[in-house]
Structures are given as C-alpha cells and as structure tokens.
Amino acid sequence: MSAAAAHITVLLEEAVAALEVKPDGVYVDATFGRGGHSRAILARLGPAGRLIAFDRDPRAIEAVRALQDERLQLVHEPFSALAATLDGMDVRHVDGVLMDLGVSSPQLDEPERGMSFRFDAPLDMRMDTTRGESAAQWLARASVAEISNVLRGYGEERFAHAIAKAIDAARQGGPVATTGQLAQIVAQTVRTREPGLHPATRTFQALRICVNRELEELSLILPQAVARLNTGGRLVVIAFHSLEDRIVKRFMRDHAKPPALPRGLPVREALRPQPPLTLAGDAIRPSEGEVAANPRARSAIMRVASRTGAAFDGAQSWSA
C-alpha cells in the first residue's frame, strides 16, 4: 500500500467546506502531507483557481507528482516561509489558508524517520530530512536542564528531570542514537504510566516538537496568514495537541476582539474599530464514525476564523 493510500486525511470534508472554496480563488494548503486536503480543494477549484501547498517533507514533494495539476504549486519549505514565498510568486492576497498540524501517518509508520518507538531505527525525527539537526544530534549536545525543559514543556512529562538524567547517564557510554535505545531508557526510568500509554510516548512527542520547532513555526505562520487573507477569506486550522490548539485558540480569540480603546473614551458602537477576524462557529471535532475508522483522528480539533476588512498589524510571530 502506498503512503498516500495508507494516510487517512482527518476532517477532510469539514475542513474544505470551511474554506468556502471559490472556483477562481487562490488558496494555501500549508501542510500538504500526502495531498488529501489539496485534492479536495482542487476538485472545487475551476480552471482559473490556484492552490499553493507547503511541506517540509521530501516524501510529500515526491507525492505531488501523482497529481499532475497545473493549478497546484508545491513549495518545499516550512510554512513559516508563507509571506516570503507568496512575495516571490507575486501573490499579495489569498482566499483561504488551511493548516493540518502535527505529524502524518506515513511519517509515524516509516521506521527510518525515527518518530516512533514501535520500530528500532535511527533517532532522526526530522520532518525535513534534508536539513537541520536530528533528535540524536540534539540529545548529544543538550544539557540535562534543556532536555528536562523540553520534555516538561512540549510533552507535559511529569518525570522529565528523571528521564533527562537517565539520558545523560546513558550517553556517557556512547550516543543515544536509536529509537530503541531511547524507548528503553525511558521505560526503565518511568515505572508508572496511564493504562495503554507507552512510557516513552510523551518523550518522543516532545523531542519531535523540539527538533521540528513545531510550536515556533505555528506562532510564525498565524499572523502571516491573517495578513494575506482577502476580506472574507478563511483561516482553517486542525490541531492534534493541546499545546498547538491553545496557541490557535488564543490567537483567533484575541484577534476577534475589537481593539482596546482608552478607558473612558466615548465612542459610538458603529464607529468602534473592528477586529481583523471573526470566529466562524464553534470548534469541530471528528465524528464517532470517523474516529472508529481512524483512531488517530480522536484528538483532532478544528477551528475556523474569517477575515474582516479591518486593518491587521500583527507581529511577525505570535505565541500563547
């Protein structure tokens, strides 16, 4: 089975419907993956429509060849390069931006990517295997305090310090270079864990987020996306982790509030400055049927916002 066939796109219909695709619109799929959302967007675009898709994963770049659609342009860059890339294409504004955050099923299921403790493989974890530092390289140079902070901050691991010390002790005898080594170190350190949860789950998650700068990337793209949206354009974000969703939720909420005015300044409601975003309904989660068919969808949550005509002067990056 091909990677594209093995990957099941989460909230496919809901996400594309939320974009409210116009046949002649210009859209951004910030996380191409194996092209599930992109295919659905292209199916709704007319001949004059355009789709610009980003992905860091070289395998995703290979997967786009099967589409052979001149309306699609795939960019091998992190999505934090959105503004610079659109500038290079002479694209000032777009009608929608879709983000499907986190790791894809093929990345988890390919042993050589080193993202899963289910296989003993090189401890890589990079989404883009052509650049950057692998998890093994980061662990070789990081201090105990740095490792502990990453495990606690990105994995919400309550045994973070003990695991960090165990990793430090293990690397005195040589590098921690494989997923099997790391999983064993954590399993020997963490004696208690919730039923059904592998002791190394949070450690692997935290290191992956760290190596790929996932939360930093998210904080960088959100304001860029809003700045590039046409009035009425949609920002659609699917998150799978509470830390990601917290950033998205607060960003949308804060930019859907009217700008603060000096206390006591009398302003008519009709003249009150408008916020750059409006929230488009409540957060959406996968149906019971979708979760039954694809258990990896169970933690997904989708949030949608619509661009108003108000000015937006958001910073280049934003975080919770």
Q: What percent of the chain has a predicted confidence (pLDDT) above 70? A: 91
The answer to whether position 240 is within a domain reads: yes
180's CB contacts (< 8 A; 6+ apart) are 117, 119, 120, 121
Question: Is there a single domain that holds both residue 246 and residue 298?
Answer: yes
Q: Mark residue 196 as left, alpha or beta (left: phi above 0; alpha: psi -120 to 50; beta: remaining).
A: left
pLDDT at 59: 81
| Residue 29 bridge partners (DSSP) | 53, 98
pLDDT at 271: 58
Does position 319 have pLDDT exceeding 70, yes or no? no
Question: Is there a single domain that holds both residue 88 and residue 118?
Answer: no
Write out pLDDT tens, residues 72-117.
999 999 999 999 999 999 999 999 999 999 887 777 777 778 888 8
pLDDT at 270: 56
Detail the residues annotated as belonging to a binding site.
35-37, 55, 79, 100, 107
The CATH number covering residue 10 comes to: 3.40.50.150
Instruction: Please give the residue range of the domain that contains residue 201.
Output: 110-212
Write out pLDDT tens, residues 32-76.
988 899 999 999 999 999 999 999 988 877 777 777 899 999 999
Detail the residues annotated as belonging to a binding site for S-adenosyl-L-methionine.
35-37, 55, 79, 100, 107
The C-alpha atoms of residue 91 and residue 86 are separated, in whole angstroms, by 5
pLDDT at 1: 35
The answer to whether position 315 is within a domain reads: no
Q: Which two tokens stand for residue 262?
A: 């000096």
The answer to whether position 319 is within a domain reads: no
Write out pLDDT tens, residues 236-256.
999 999 999 999 999 999 999
The C-alpha atoms of residue 186 and residue 229 are separated, in whole angstroms, by 44
The answer to whether position 318 is within a domain reads: no
Question: Is there a single domain that holds both residue 155 and residue 176?
Answer: yes
Question: Is there a single domain that holds both residue 125 and residue 162?
Answer: yes
The C-alpha atoms of residue 168 and residue 163 are separated, in whole angstroms, by 9
pLDDT at 265: 60
Question: Is there a single domain that holds both residue 207 and residue 219?
Answer: no
pLDDT at 318: 52
The answer to whether position 316 is within a domain reads: no
Alpha helices by DSSP H, listed for 190-264, are: 201-212, 214-228, 242-254
User: What burial class does residue 253 get, using C-beta atoms within 10 Å of its C-beta: 0-12 exposed, 13-18 middle, 19+ buried?
Assistant: middle
Question: Is there a single domain that holds both residue 141 and residue 226?
Answer: no
Question: Is there a single domain that holds both residue 193 and residue 247?
Answer: no
Q: What percent of the chain has a predicted confidence (pLDDT) above 90? A: 74
pLDDT at 317: 52
The C-alpha atoms of residue 220 and residue 226 are separated, in whole angstroms, by 11
The answer to whether position 143 is within a domain reads: yes
Alpha helices by DSSP H, listed for the chain, are: 3-6, 12-19, 36-44, 58-63, 82-88, 105-109, 135-141, 144-155, 160-171, 179-189, 201-212, 214-228, 242-254, 288-293
Count of C-beta atoms within a 10 Å radius of residue 255: 24
The answer to whether position 100 is within a domain reads: yes
Does position 266 have pLDDT exceeding 80, yes or no? no
The DSSP H or E segment spanning 87 is helix 82-88
pLDDT band at 260, cuts 50/70/90? low
The answer to whether position 200 is within a domain reads: yes
The CATH number covering residue 164 comes to: 1.10.150.170
Q: How many CA atoms lie within 13 A of 97 on its CB side?
A: 28
Question: Is there a single domain that holds both residue 194 and residue 75?
Answer: no
Helix axes 144-155, 160-171, angle to 10 degrees: 140
Does position 186 have pLDDT exceeding 90, yes or no? yes
pLDDT at 163: 98
The structural domain count of the chain equals: 2
Write out pLDDT tens, residues 188-233.
999 777 777 889 999 999 999 999 999 999 999 999 999 999 999 9
| Residue 26 bridge partners (DSSP) | 50
Question: Is there a single domain that holds both residue 51 and residue 126?
Answer: no
Question: Is there a single domain that holds both residue 36 and residue 88?
Answer: yes
Write out pLDDT tens, residues 118-146.
889 999 999 999 999 999 999 999 999 99
Looking at every residue in the chain, the average pLDDT score rounds to 90
Question: Is there a single domain that holds both residue 196 and residue 228?
Answer: no
Question: Is there a single domain that holds both residue 25 and residue 82?
Answer: yes
